[in-house]
Structure 1
Amino acid sequence: MRSELERTPNPDGLPVELRRFVDVGYQGSETFLTLEVAKLADTDDGKPGDRIGALVERFEQDHQRLFGYLREQRAVLVSQARVQGRIASGEVPVCFSDEQASPTALGSTRVWFGEPAGSSDGWVEDVPMLWREDLRGSLVGPALILDATGSIVLDPGFTLQVTSDGTLDIRRGDDQHAARIVSDADARDPVRLEIFGNQFMSIAEQMGHVLERTALSTNIRERLDFSCAVFDPQGNLVANAPHIPVHLGAMGESVSATLAAHPSMKPGSVYVTNDPAGGGSHLPDVTVVTPVFIDGGLEFFVASRGHHADIGGITPGSMPPFSRCLAEEGVVLRCLPLVREGKLLESELLEVLSSGPHPARAPRDNIADLLAQVAANNQGATLLAELCQQQGVPVVKAYMRHIQDNAAELVRARLVALGDG
């Protein structure tokens, strides 16, 4: 393939960039990751074994980052190899306008930028309002830029420069106001409360998108019988996506029960439970719990619960109407380790699913759905870590408490409004 691309006619004589890619995945898996071969070794004259080892190492790193686990007992396969040829024409230069005339302001207004923004309450007075078509050269914030269809808020410390084609190039400057906004986390700000509430719910929703795309069971992929949520370090619910209400009300108990069963959790650990005595519902609803560590400390939990097609029991589907004991409904998973130090405990889990008087009928299907739940939780953990990087752990945890307190106050007010009877 490489030699054919090199022989491709190139009338303009422009340099051709060749890139090699392989799709790599675990044996028996439908998920393959695309890796660029050139980035696996410094030179092409290395030994094939060295390049294969580098390929496997890179695949495991990416798989761990994306899905949160490794399958050491599975072989790593290459499903496709391809070469991409690209003619590099160079970057298009960006030309900035030489005009430096300051536009005439349409007026001024009062804008809230948060702290620090020039005042103790975050408001900035006399922010100039400018018409976009009148902008020339560069501009330093704060400013409010208007046009016929919208507006642009230029924060304090940010700079704007108009390019030759009229594009606005906005960059963060060195001004102290461009630093991350850090306010008193103990004071509940209603604006930030709403922002954080939506951020936490968005994290749970994105967990659900991953679970829906990667699960095997029709119950999860098609019926959407699953739920995802974010919890504080004690296992109390903070935010959830609009999934299944009966799941969401009990998942916090499952997280707390898992924490009680494993008080010394470590990074890279994931747990699984369906125990009704520990916050579960019926046995097919299996919950995967992932502790989220930031800088080595346990700061949050994320969890997902999905309805598996079968978990054993005296009838297929694991919902027998005439069961007389829990074992007749299926296999009970009581806060078991699912991933330890980033490595999937597949053989141990298969042994549990295949044990008991009424074992699971398709344990490998259960494994597939559990891996989808692990991947969903990993997405939530990654997004929480990014949020902490942006806002700081103390602020994120403080607004988790504010959201819980606000919810409690709203419920109390509603109960009082109901009156007697």
Structure 2
Amino acid sequence: MQKYVTRAHTACTDAYLTPCLKRYIDTFTNAFEKDKLNELNVLFMQSDGGLTPVEKFSGSRAILSGPAGSLVVFFSYLNINCLFKKKPKPIGGVIGYSVTSYIDSQPVIGFDMGGTSTDVSRFDGSLEHVLESTIASVTIQAPQLDINTVAAGGGSTLSFRSGLFRVGPESAGAQPGPACYKKGGPLTVTDANLILGRLIAEHFPALFGPNGNEPLDSEASLTKFKELATTINSFLKENQKKTLSIEEIALGFIHVANESMSRPIRALTEGKGFDIRDHVLACFGGAGGQHACAIARALGMKTVYITRFAGVLSALGLALADVVHEMQEPSGRIINVDNWSNILDRLKYLSTYGTDELVQQGYDRKSIIVEKYLNLRYEGTDCALMCTSNEDKAESFTDVFLKKYKEQFGFIIPDRPIIVDDIRIRALAKSAMNINRKIDNRSKDKPFKELKKVKCYFEQGFVETPVYLIEELYANDHISGPAIIIDPSCTIVVESNCEATVTDCGDIRIAIKHVKEDTDSTELDLIRLSIFQNRFMSIAEQCGRVLQLTAISTNIKERLDFSCAVFGPDGGLVANAPHIPVHLGAMQEAVQYQMRTIGKDLRDGDVILSNHPSAGGSHLPDLTVITPVFHECDKEKPVFFVASRGHHADIGGLTPGSMPPNSTSLLQEGAQFLSFKIVEQGQFKEK
């Protein structure tokens, strides 16, 4: 906990939220009869996925408690059901939180799609925690499950602006809700699914309308879509393009929403060095099942898994989670042989203290598991990675750190000292709840048939689609797409070329068959343009994230005085992350200057450094690094460029900071670079 500014943010957030929580807790407890509550063990879910007694519950540790509940229950569920062909082998026996070893198993992406947002997480044998995250522009330093959130869900609004299909970030919320709720709400993703026949109104309770007693209203959705279609088709006619039907427009918005929800998945996998195709997509949340197949196909994933508790996992997670007592303390020591005995002593002390705390709460000492963590970073950087090891050896923790760093950033820094930012332990008391339940196979006297057929719109148009009730399905039933499976808490859409199988536990496993898309057309396609806008923006944002996390300069890692962008083969700006606006206005000229000057000499592996105003620079401390990217089949001409510009503290000017107010020539402001290949064909030019 070295960063006192971040700690101050956390303290202020806690001071603001905790009294609100206490008032809620008081209202909750006062509703019980006198002394009745003393007979119960009242626990609350925290952002780290663990339960804590009511008196220890605080605001800074409650912010992501809802998604944490879903994440815990799903990954707890993995340990005791049949997602994998071979039964997982737990280490420590703690459901949901233990470091678990799988044999021939696949890592899992948790995909929790709700009304206003989608929460994404990754599991590969253990739950990953982060010690610091930014939520609603506030940086919180408290243990949390590593959950990425995007503002796209069933209630995300649909709009058409600047020739692009837009999904969110605005949401209709619960009030007034989507247009189909009959409360005057805007057009949303839910309305698009309803228009396409992927939601069946008669299977929803009559809870809508002004008085909360009416069914979903597809006519309200259709009216709004007609209005939007008029705007979109007017734009297409002005540009002499083919107009779109209402269903094509609705499906286009679904594609854009799917791409938006794919961005955090890419950040958790490709952004950290993992191959996304090796993962299972595990869907939960009320809306996840409608988009699961399409998202898995877009990401190249082969399997979708939907538990029978998909719509209520946050609630169920409260029952399945472990009781956790977590402790941490700052260290600041270099991890080496000389300091290891002190670090190990602190780990042992915290472990004993955490165990004693759970024993005082009534848990058996023998059933308590203690996980030990070190928050490690390279000296001079701010990117700390939480590392755990089963061995109490310095080299074991160091090896874990180096492996994580290499996976996430693609390189390591040899001979640079590694700092222990924090020493942390998690003492866990295992949950006793077990939800393992097998279902029967279908007997011969119970024929397999659909409930009915409905018209559902897919890429090929309207298709007669069978509908099944999940409670009427048996183990090992197979359903070929397209099909719709109705669950009491969610609707599952099995798309064409997909095969759904009911597991022995009553869950749905969907095998995704990938079909090659027609990508040869160069005609303007508003939907495809909207999708690729999201993809290119995601690349620029990930560039910025890596630059910030790996930077040593305070200007980059804390002041965030940098910008990243993607440029086309002509040097024109394609996508820029929302960084420093003044940088982005000139970076296109910086790229195009290099193309004019040394374009014929650019080779794969070259990186150009420039800061000269005549080469598209601003002031000299802003250094621009430009990298041409080549296709493997053509090493002669770049297919696109990526560039980043960052402010350096000093570049050799007359005064510290290299921005002298009395300078009369550019030379007095510092070093100048027009076109310097700082890396040439992969070789860094450093002496």
Q: Fold match, TM over 0.5?
A: yes
Q: How does 1:17-56 map to 2 (within 5 A)?
A: 19-38=371-390, 52=395, 56=398
* Deviation of the 1:279 alpha carbon: 2.4
* Secondary structure of 1:264's aligned partner: coil
Q: Could you list the runs of 5+ residues in structure 1 that have no partner in the other structure?
A: 113-122, 349-421
Q: 1:72 to 1:12 in 2, by over 3 A?
A: closer
Q: What CA distance in whole angstroms lies between the structure 1 residues aligned with 2:577 and 2:516? A: 27
Distance apart, 1:27 and its partner CA: 2.6
Report deviation, 1:31.
2.9
Where do 1:47-66 residues align within 5 Å?
Answer: 52=395, 56=398, 58-66=400-408
Which residue of 2 is the match for residue 274 of structure 1?
611
**Match of 2:528?**
192
Q: What residue is the counterpart of 2:508 in the other structure? A: 169
2:586 is aligned with 1:250 = yes
The 1:340–1:181 alpha-carbon spacing in structure 2 relative to 1, beyond 3 Å, is same
Cα distance change on mapping 1:18 and 1:312 into 2, 3 Å: same
Work out the CA distance in 2 between the residues paired with 1:66 and 1:236: 29
Is residue 548–residue 556 contact of structure 2 (8 Å, CA) maintained in 1?
A: no
CA distance in 2, matches of 1:65, 1:263: 28
Partner of 1:324: 664
Question: Would the alpha carbon gap of residues 196 and 106 (structure 1) be closer, same or farther in structure 2, given more than 3 Å must change?
Answer: same
Larger RCO: Structure 1 or Structure 2 (Cα < 8 Å, ≥ 6 residues apart)? Answer: 1
Q: Is the 8 A contact 2:383 2:549 kept in 1?
A: no
Match of 2:574 among 238, 242, 252: 238
Aligned residue among 467, 480, 494 for 1:130: 467
Shift of 1:270: 5.2
Q: CA shift at 1:201, angstroms?
A: 1.5
Change (3 A) 1:199 1:135: farther
Give the corresponding residue for 1:154. 494
Does 1:72 find its partner at 2:414? yes
C-alpha contact (below 8 Å) 2:620/2:670 kept by paired residues = yes
Please report how far the alpha carbon of residue 287 of structure 1 lies from its aligned counterpart in structure 2 after TM superposition: 1.8
Does structure 2 conserve the Cα–Cα contact (< 8 Å) formed by 1:127 and 1:144? no
* Mapped partners of 2:661, 2:453: distance in 1: 73
SS at match of 1:184: coil
Which AA in structure 2 matches 1:277? S
Deviation per residue, 1:50-88 (Å, 9 max, x gap)? x73x65555344334434544335323444555655566
1:347-374 per-residue CA deviation (whole Å, 9 max, x = no partner) reads: 75xxxxxxxxxxxxxxxxxxxxxxxxxx
Quick one: which amino acid aligns to residue 302 of structure 1? V
The one-letter code matched in structure 1 to 2:518 is S
> Are the counterparts in 2 of residues 69 and 344 from structure 1 also a CA contact under 8 Å?
no
* CA distance in structure 2 between the partners assigned to 1:12 and 1:127 by the alignment: 59
* Structure 1 residues 297-330: Cα deviation after superposition (integer angstroms, max 9, x where no partner): 7754322223445434234544445533222222
Provide the residue aligned with 1:384 in structure 2. none
Amino acid at match of 1:248: L
CA distance in 2 between counterparts of 1:294 and 1:2 reads 53
Map residues 318-397 of structure 1 onto 2, 5 A cutoff. 318-320=658-660, 322-336=662-676
Note closer, same or farther for the CA distance 1:290–1:263 as it changes in structure 2 (3 Å cut): closer
Amino acid at match of 1:74: R
**Match in the other structure for 1:227:** 563
Aligned residues of 1:97 and 1:136 also touching (Cα < 8 A): no
Residues 97 and 163 of structure 1 are in contact (CA less than 8 Å); yes or no, is this contact kept in structure 2? no
The gaps in structure 2 that reach 5 residues or longer are 1-346
Provide closer, same or farther for how the CA distance between residues 61 and 252 of structure 1 changes in structure 2, counting only shifts above 3 A.
Answer: farther
Quote the residue 2:602 is aligned against.
Answer: 263
Preserved CA contact (<8 Å) 1:109 1:129: no
SS at match of 1:107: strand
Q: Supply the AA of the counterpart residue of 2:643.
A: A
Are the aligned partners of 1:229 and 1:237 in contact in 2 as well (CA < 8 Å)?
yes
Deviation at 1:183, TM superposition (A): 1.8
Counterpart residue identity of residue 517, structure 2? V
Whole-Å separation in 2 of the counterparts to 1:317 and 1:79: 29
Contact 1:312 1:331 (C-alpha < 8 Å) held by counterparts: yes
1:201 aligns with 2:547: no
* CA shift for structure 1 position 179: 1.1
The answer to whether residue 642 in structure 2 is matched with residue 302 in structure 1 is yes
The answer to whether structure 1 residue 102 and structure 2 residue 445 are counterparts is no
Say if 1:213 and 1:73 are closer, same or farther in 2 by CA, change over 3 A.
closer
Question: Is the 2:355–2:370 contact (alpha carbons within 8 Å) kept by the matching residues of 1?
Answer: no
TM-score, length-scaled by structure 2: 0.38
CA gap of 1:67–1:163, structure 2 versus 1, over 3 A, is closer
Please state whether the residue corresponding to 1:303 is helix, strand or coil: strand
Aligned length: 318
CA distance in 1 between partners of 2:630 and 2:399 (Å): 24
Segment drifting more, 293-302 vs 282-291: 293-302
Q: Which amino acid aligns with 1:263?
A: L
- TM-score w.r.t. the length of structure 1 is 0.57
What is the CA-CA distance between 1:200 and the residue it aligns to?
A: 0.8
CA gap of 1:57–1:127, structure 2 versus 1, over 3 A, is: same
Q: 2:514 aligns with which of 154, 179, 195?
A: 179
RMSD over aligned Cα atoms: 4.7
Query: 2: CA distance between counterparts of 1:257 and 1:265?
Result: 18
Instruction: Give SS of 1:202's match.
Output: helix
The amino acid that maps onto 2:436 is P
How far, CA to CA, are the matches of 2:577 and 2:589 in structure 1? 17
Contact map agreement 2:381 2:549 (CA 8 A) in 1: no
Letter in 2 for 1:289: I
Q: Report deviation, 1:12.
A: 9.2
